[in-house]
Structure 1
C-alpha cells in the first residue's frame, strides 16, 4: 500500500509494510468555496465587528499591513493587491502604505524569497515591503507591561504609528498559542525581542494550557489579546487553506472577533476525534515551507501526542532542506543533548527572558517525555542530526515495520498533513 505525506515541495510517497493496519487521519472535506477573489472581496466588504475596509481607510493618512514570514503558506498573492488597491482608492497614497513581514525572531525574508512570499510583483513595485527586526531597539515603541503577567510590550514603530493597522495570516493549529493568525501576527510577529522572550519563557511554556487548539486560559493567547488591545483599533484578514493550499475561508474585521470566526470555522476540520491511542504514529512536518528546518519540525512532533501511547514510537518525516535552524536554536539543542531533558529544563525555569529560539527545544521535551522519536530527514547532515536529540530513521517502511514488531501492534496511525491536523484520543462527538 502506498502512503503519501506532505514533505518538501513535492510530497513523499512510501510503501507501507505488509501486515500493517493503517489508520489514516485526515481532515474531513471542506465545503465548496467560492472563487478565491470572490472570497476575499466578500470578506473585505462584509466584515466582522468593523466597517468595510474601504470605509476604514477613508480619511486615513497611512496604513501598515502585516504578513507572515516564509514559514507560513499564507496566500498573500490572493489578497495583498486588492487590499492595497482598496486603500489607495480610499485616498491613502502608495507611499504611505507599508507591508511589514512579521518575522518575530526569525531571519528576514529578502530577494527571491521575499518575492515568493509576497507572490505578486505589483505589490513589490507599488508599496514598501519591509522586514521586522525584533533585536533593533530603536525600531520599537515601548507600550508598558501587560496587567496580568507583567510582559514588557514593545511593538514595531511602523505598525504602532500607522493610522490604519491590519494583520493578515493563516489560521491553523498552533502547538503553544492554540491557533495561529490574528493577534499572533502582532505578537510575536512584530514584537520587541523582550516581549517575545518573556512569553516564551518556561513559566508560559510549561503551563498545561499553552497547547494546540486551546484558547481557554492559554497564557500566550491571553497576553496576545491584551497586547493588541493596547494598540487601539486593529483589524485582520484571516485565511484558511486546504491540504492543496486552496483558499477555503476568509474573514475580515476587528482583529479579535474576525480571528475567532476563523477559529470557529477551522476547528471542525482540524481537531479530529479518533477514539483510541496507538503505539506507532507516523506524521509529517507539513511540507514546504514549514518543514525546511528542524526548528519548525518540532511542531509536528507535539501535535499528535494525545494519540500516542506512553512509551510508543513517533516517526516524523521532514525535508529539512535548510538544516537545523538558527544558531540560537542549535545552541539550545546542543545543551539539550549534553545535559539531558530534565537538567536542560531546570536551566530554563529561573529565566525571565528565554534565550532566542530555546523555547522550541523546550517544546521538544514534550514528545521526548511521551515516547521514542524517530526522524526521517535524509537532507539533514550528520552534524545537524547529532544535535536533534532524536533517533534517525533511514527508511520509513523499515522504521514502521520495526516499531510495529517492537510493540506487538500492527495498528499504525498516519497523519499526512502533520501539525495541520490535531488528532484526539477521545471518540468523535455524536453527529
Structure 2
C-alpha cells in the first residue's frame, strides 16, 4: 500500500548529458588549480596513467583517447605511458573486460599493467602516515615521472566519495595499507558514506601527496552511465569541486527512515564485496532494529580474493576483533571488510535475494537468504501482516545513491560506533 512506502529513490536525472568528448575537452582545457596537462609534462618523461577497473562504471573508452592525445601534444608519445589498473584488492580483469572498459584502440596504444597488491617485489615501502598507516605502493607508479589518475566521483564507504586520491589508496596500494585503511574507516564513527572531511580521506590524501599525484581527471555520471560533468586538475581542489556537483545528482532527501529497506545495487552485481556497498547507503536511512535486504544476482558469489572473510563474518564483533588483532587471518583486507558486516548485524537484520550466493555462504555471512524473486513480495506481505504501519524504503543503484533523512528522524547511525 502507498501509505507504507517511505521512499523509492534513485540518483537524480540531472541536466541532459553533453557530448562526452566536448565535456572532457572542456575540463582538460581549464583544469582546477593546475596547469593544463600538455604544459605540465615535458618531453622525455614517463607517465603512469592510473585507471579504475571493471567494478566501476567509468566510461574509460571515451576518456582515455582524449587524455592520451593531450599527452601527445605535450611531447609524451604513447610508448612513454603505462596504464596501471588500480584494482586495489579486486581480482584481475579478463581480456574481454579490458577491451569493453578501455577500448581496443587504447589497449593498442599503451602498455597495460594489472596492480598486484600481494606482490611485495613490485611494491615500495614509503614508511607510515601520521596516524601510523603503513604505506606500500605500486613500484611502477612510483617510478614514473608523472602520475595521472582517472576515475568517477560517487558516494563511497569508507572513502566518503570515490575519485581523487582514492585512485591511489586503495587503488595501487599494498595489502597491509588497504587493510589498515578499511579498519580505520570501521573504527571511526564519523566516517560515513557521503562525508568528505574524515580520517580516511586525510589518509588517502596524505598517501597521494607522499607518492606524488600530479593530475586527476574525474567524471560524474548520470544514472544511465553518461558523463554529466568532468573535473580535471589538482587531486584535492578538482575533486572537491566534483563532489559538490555530484551531490546534486546522488544526494536525495527522504522524508523518514525505513523499517524494511530494499537495496538494489544493480548494475554493480559482480561479487558480494561489491554488492555489499548497497548496505552503506541503506544504513543511513534504516531505523535501528530494522531489516535491510540486498537484491542482486551476485554473479561471482563471494569475492574470489576474499573468501577467507567467511571465516570471520559469522562471529560476534568482540571475538572477531580479538582474532583479527591476533593476526589469525592471512587476508587482512577481507578481515577488515568483514568487521563492517559484523558491525551492521548489531543494528539491523540482514537478508539477501540472490540466485548465485550459496546457502553455506549466506549462513557464514549471518544473513537470511532468499533465492526466488517471488520471495520478495512474500517477505513484504509477512512484515506488513506483523506490523501494519511498517515503512518500506527502496534504493535503486544503491551503490551510488546517497539518501539524506530529514532532520529529526532517528536511524541506527547514532549507535554504530564500533
Does residue 1:66 correspond to 2:41, yes or no? no
Offset of 1:22 from its aligned partner? 5.7
Provide the C-alpha distance between the structure 1 equivalents of 2:339 and 2:272, rounded to a whole number of angstroms. 14
- Deviation, 1:351, is 5.8
* Distance across 2 between alignment mates of 1:19 and 1:46: 49
Q: What corresponds to 1:312 in structure 2?
A: 290
Instruction: Call closer, same or farther: CA 1:377–1:233 in 2, change over 3 Å.
Output: closer
Maintained 8 Å contact 2:317/2:343: no
Shift of 1:331: 2.0
Q: How many residues align structurally?
A: 404
Q: Partners in 2 of 1:427 and 1:205 — Cα distance? A: 24
**Pair 1:301 & 2:279 matched:** yes
Counterpart of 1:110 (choices 94, 103, 123) is 94
Task: Compute the displacement of 1:233 (Å).
Answer: 4.9
Q: 2:189 aligns with which of 195, 204, 208?
A: 208
Q: Is the 8 A contact 2:220 2:230 kept in 1?
A: yes
Deviation at 1:183, TM superposition (A): 0.3
Aligned to 1:44: 28
Q: Tell me how far apart the structure 1 counterparts of residues 159 and 41 of structure 2 sit (CA, whole Å).
A: 30
Aligned Cα root-mean-square deviation (Å) = 2.2
Pairing of 1:164-313 with structure 2 (within 5 A): 164-201=146-183, 203-216=184-197, 218-285=198-265, 287-288=266-267, 290-313=268-291
Partner of 2:414: none
TM-score of the aligned structures, taking structure 1 as reference length: 0.88
8 A Cα contact 2:316 2:342, kept in partner? no
Residue 13 of structure 1 corresponds to none
2:345 to 349, 361, 368: 368
* Unaligned segments of structure 2, at least 5 residues: 409-418
Q: What secondary structure is seen at the aligned counterpart in 2 of 1:155?
A: strand
1:347 is matched with 323
Contact kept, 8 Å, 1:330 with 1:387, in 2: the verdict is: no
Change (3 A) 1:284 1:153: same
Match of 2:144 among 162, 173, 179: 162
Change (3 A) 1:249 1:93: same
Structure 1 residue 208: deviation in Å?
0.6
Partners of 2:383 and 2:153 in 1: how far apart? 34
TM-aligned CA deviation for residue 354 of structure 1: 7.0
Equivalent position of 2:123 in the other structure: 140
Matched, 1:125 2:103: no
- Residue deviations 1:180-222, cap 9 Å, x none? 1110111111112222122223x54211122211122x22111
Inter-partner Cα distance in structure 1 for 2:387 and 2:307 = 32
Change (3 A) 1:387 1:196: same
Q: What does the per-residue CA deviation read over 1:89-123, in whole Å, with 9 as the maximum and x for residues that have no partner?
A: 322122211111001111211311221221x1111
- Is it true that 1:377 corresponds to 2:354 in the alignment? yes
2 CA distance for matches of 1:387 and 1:422? 28
Are 1:80 and 2:58 matched, yes or no? no
The CA deviation at 1:129 is 1.2
Aligned residues of 1:200 and 1:354 also touching (Cα < 8 A): no
Partner residue in 1 for 2:412: none
1:96–1:22: structure 2 CA closer, same or farther, 3 Å change rule?
A: same
Q: Distance in 1 between matches of 2:283 and 2:238?
A: 29
Report what 1:356 is aligned to.
333
Query: Given the alignment of the two structures, is residue 321 of structure 1 paired with residue 321 of structure 2, yes or no?
Result: no
- Structure 1: state its 5+ residue gaps: 1-16
Q: Which residue in 2 is equivalent to 1:9?
A: none
Shift of 1:67: 0.7
